[in-house]
Amino acid sequence: MFAGLPIGEILILTLGALISGVLWYLIPLSNNSAVVRRRWIAYIPVVAAIVLYVVLRPQGWMLIFPVLGFLILIHELGHFLTAKWFGITVKEFGFGFPPRMFGVRFKPYGTIYSINWIPLGGFVRMVGEHGEEIEKGTLVGQAQEPDRNVVLYRRGSSGPVPSEPPPEVSFGEQSILKRVIVLVAGSFMNLLFPAIAFTVIFLLPQDITVGTVVINGVAPGSPAQEAGITRGDVIIAVNGRDVDNHFDLIQRIMARLGSPTEITVRRGTFISGSPIPEFTSAEPVVLTIEPRLNPPSLIVVETVTDSSRQVSLQDAQRYNSELKLGEEMTQGAIGVLIGTTNESVVKRSHSLFEAVPMSLGRMRDVVLISKNGIARWTAGGPDPGLAGPVGIASVTGQV
């Protein structure tokens, strides 16, 4: 589930958009050329995020524009809704960036809802957003005679319409608390949206593949061997979270790279001629293991002269019987080969009370998997954009 979604890369783009949004509001709008030049600094994080996205997922670069545009639009929607809630005058809420394609008002002097030609997100234009309006109380002129408050109306399609717009409510005149809420609302929406999306996914019935995750091999000198995991053991849970299939195991482990992790197993052993292990103990066993950030690749040799780079043919074939002399023995974070037996497809859905914490857990896993994947890549490990942790392990069977 979620294996095909470029969620890690989407989070990278989200982070770039958030940082750019913060810089945009911190750098004031001004006609001063130096300030205008500084404003371009706000584009650096989002451009860096786009470059990183292309590096991690070169085959999916066409997704950049719709994904980034959607994320920025959600961000701006947060500013728009809170500004409206506080009664601040919003001149325009736009999808994309100018020049404007077309716009519409739903009431006289109301907000313009526009569609623009550059489809890279959206924007909110509030009165007093950058302090360019005249502050309340500033003396701009002096009347010689008392003014008379005369309001003229013109005939509109839905009734009388004031000839002059109503008084504008400036963002700059709001209290510090209200201004902070409006500015933070964009980032909050970027965090709230995936939580809602995951919750809805967990609420809906889905076909889930479940089965028994079996250890088919343990790499010599690996964290799995040091923790006492043996061939034939069955993985039941990781850090107390059930493992229903090998995708669950892979995602749980990838989220815990470099951190002590509890793995619950049932002891088992293979009977000759049977792919299903026979359990040797009724009670599960909890083992502590620390998944490696960048596991080694060893050359299969007859006689080992450098244990940091080589592995004997006998030990290599205990891990994977298909390995031959001169080949490279690659391994996963904990150093096991896995398989799934007794597979079946079940339809599963969750209650709201189950779906909410599950969605938060999924968001946490996605963030950690993305962080660990990038850390592995920068340390010389596999490119996380080629297939992702689930795709790579589902092909090789290594965890």
Q: How far apart are CA 355 and CA 240, in angstroms?
A: 17
> Is residue 176 within a helix (H) or strand (E), and if so which, with residue range?
helix 176-203
Q: Which of 177, 203, 229 is the last residue of a domain?
A: 203
Give alpha helix (H) positions in 204-267: 223-227, 246-254
User: Residue 165's pLDDT is what?
Assistant: 61
The pLDDT tens digits of the residues spanning 189-208 come to 888 888 888 898 889 888 88
Average pLDDT, the chain: 75
Q: How far apart are CA 18 and CA 71, in angstroms?
A: 9
Task: Answer yes or no: do 176 and 233 share one domain.
Answer: no
Put simply, whether the predicted model's pTM sits higher than 0.75 gets the answer no
Give alpha helix (H) positions in 100-143: none
Task: Answer yes or no: do 189 and 270 share one domain.
Answer: no
The pLDDT tens digits of the residues spanning 280-305 come to 566 788 999 999 888 888 888 888 88
Describe the strand order of the beta sheet including 310-312 as a list of residue ranges: 310-312, 298-301, 328-329
Inside any domain, residue 120: yes
Inside any domain, residue 290: yes
Q: Which amino acid is at 217?
A: G
Helices and strands, counts by H and E, the chain: 10, 15
**CA dist list (Å): 154 to 104, 107, 161:** 20, 14, 5
Q: Which amino acid is at 279?
A: F
Inside any domain, residue 138: no
Tokens of residue 284, six digits: 């599960």
Inside any domain, residue 191: yes
Q: State how far Cα 240 lies from the chain centre.
A: 23
Inside any domain, residue 160: no
b/e 189-201 (16+ beta carbons within 10 angstroms → b): bbeebbeeebbeb
Task: Answer yes or no: do 375 and 271 share one domain.
Answer: yes
Tokens of residue 101, six digits: 């394609």
* Residue numbers of the domain that contains 49: 7-132+166-203
Across 40-54, 227-241, 348-362, least confident range: 40-54
Task: Answer yes or no: do 383 and 235 share one domain.
Answer: yes
Inside any domain, residue 155: no
293: which DSSP letter? S
| Portion of the chain with pLDDT greater than 90, in percent | 8
Task: Answer yes or no: do 89 and 218 share one domain.
Answer: no
User: Residue 30's pLDDT is what?
Assistant: 45
The strand pairing partners of 339, in sequence order, are: 214
Q: How far apart are CA 298 and CA 327, in angstroms?
A: 8
Alpha-carbon dihedral 111, 116, 122, 126, rounded to 10 degrees: -30
Terminal CA-CA length for the chain: 18
The CATH number for 287's domain is 2.30.42.10
CB atoms within 10 A of CB 382: 15
131: which DSSP letter? S
The strand pairing partners of 218, in sequence order, are: 336
User: Residue 21's pLDDT is what?
Assistant: 58
Inside any domain, residue 36: yes
> Is residue 162 within a helix (H) or strand (E), and if so which, with residue range?
strand 159-162
Q: How far apart are CA 145 and CA 38, in angstroms?
A: 46
Task: Answer yes or no: do 358 and 244 share one domain.
Answer: yes
Tokens of residue 94, six digits: 């736009």
Task: Answer yes or no: do 178 and 238 share one domain.
Answer: no
Q: Which of 203, 220, 254 is the last residue of a domain?
A: 203
Task: Answer yes or no: do 198 and 267 share one domain.
Answer: no
Task: Answer yes or no: do 29 and 56 share one domain.
Answer: yes
Task: Answer yes or no: do 74 and 176 share one domain.
Answer: yes
| Number of domains, the chain | 2
The pLDDT tens digits of the residues spanning 67-102 come to 667 777 888 888 899 999 999 989 999 888 788 888
Task: Answer yes or no: do 178 and 221 share one domain.
Answer: no
Q: What angle do CA 87, 90, 92 make, to 5 degrees?
A: 160
Inside any domain, residue 19: yes
Per-residue pLDDT, averaged over 108-117, amounts to 86
Task: Answer yes or no: do 11 and 125 share one domain.
Answer: yes
The strand pairing partners of 398, in sequence order, are: 337
Alpha-carbon dihedral 168, 169, 172, 174, rounded to 10 degrees: 170
Per-residue pLDDT, averaged over 39-51, amounts to 56
Q: Which of 180, 203, 226 is the last residue of a domain?
A: 203
- The answer to whether the CB of 116 falls within 8 A of the CB of 99 is yes
If you write DSSP's letter for every residue of 330-380 in order, what string do you get? ---SS-EEEEEEEEEEEEE---HHHHHHHHHHHHHHHHHHHHHHHHHHHTT
352-378 helix and 246-254 helix, angle to the nearest 10 degrees: 60
Confidence category of residue 184, pLDDT binned at 50, 70, 90: confident
Q: Which amino acid is at 355?
A: A
